[in-house]
Amino acid sequence: MSDIRVVIVDDDFAVAQVNRAFVDARPGFTVVAEAHTGEAALAAIERHRPQLVLLDVYLPDLGGLDVLRRLRAAGDDVEVIAVTAARDLDTVRSARLLGVRHYLVKPFSGASLAERLDDVRRGIVADRAVPASPLDQHGVDRLLGTASPRRVTLPKGLSQASLERVAAGLASRPGDASAAEVAETLGMSRVSARRYLEHLVSSGAAEVAPRYGGAGRPEHRYRMPRP
């Protein structure tokens, strides 16, 4: 999967630069433009057609929500992470109604932004994996982002965060993958990757099938269920 194109919108130049540096350093994301006014944001989005916008609500001309209303009216369903000091109920509710699923109140931590970025990436991966034909329940769940591993009690030695990383890594692959391949992608040991993969299989969130090659035991290949 190619990098997700991002436009950063914030009236504070210093904040915009910090956010830009953080997003650019995150694997799988590339900042294609930076804007400091609402009109500049609309122009940048029209020019670069990003998949994600980090959008401040307080801008010197058009407010961030007005920018978003214009985008939606034009049929642009770009993913948005609101990054703002606005925390009143009306603003948060309006953002939600305009399709904002992630809302970060300033100041926020890098870990909080990283979590939202990774969730956006998982959603885009899931969208691309869903075919144009009518969906079954699994396809609907994947499209809505509700097909991630359930938060249940995990076996000793497994963590929810690592389980979600492995699940997202497996979902991002176009086909199946071995434990060694998943481990290399995520920077973890093969043994750990295999434990998480086997847990995904046992919980019904992934599938496994042997691949027979030359001499020796068959290699287990894992994949997310197909709709």
Q: Is there a single domain that holds both residue 117 and residue 191?
A: no
d(CA 100, CA 59): 17
Q: Residue 140 — very low, low, confident or very high, per pLDDT cuts 50/70/90?
A: low
Q: Each residue of 17-73: pLDDT tens digit?
A: 999 999 999 989 999 999 999 999 999 999 999 999 999 999 999 899 999 999 999
d(CA 179, CA 59): 47
Give the domain CATH number at 182: 1.10.10.10
Of the three residues 123, 157, 174, the one that is the final residue of a domain is 123
Of the three residues 123, 149, 184, the one that is the final residue of a domain is 123
Q: Is there a single domain that holds both residue 9 and residue 109?
A: yes
All residues at 6 or more sequence positions from 83 whose CB lies less than 8 Å from its CB, including other chains: 10, 19, 54, 55, 56, 104, 106, 108, 113
Of the three residues 98, 123, 148, the one that is the final residue of a domain is 123
The torsion of the CA quartet 196, 198, 202, 208, rounded to 10 degrees, works out to: 130
Q: Counting Cβ atoms within 10 Å, is residue 18 exposed (0-12), middle (13-18) or buried (19+)?
A: middle
Q: Is there a single domain that holds both residue 196 and residue 141?
A: yes
Cis peptide before 107 (omega within 30 of 0): yes
Q: Each residue of 88-127: pLDDT tens digit?
A: 888 888 888 888 888 988 888 888 899 899 888 887 776 6
Tally the domains of the chain: 2
State yes or no: pLDDT of 148 exceeds 70: no
Q: Is there a single domain that holds both residue 11 and residue 99?
A: yes
Q: Is pTM beyond 0.75 here?
A: no
Residue 130 lies in a domain: no
Give the domain CATH number at 107: 3.40.50.2300
Domain span holding position 49 = 4-123
d(CA 125, CA 209): 22
Residue 128 lies in a domain: no
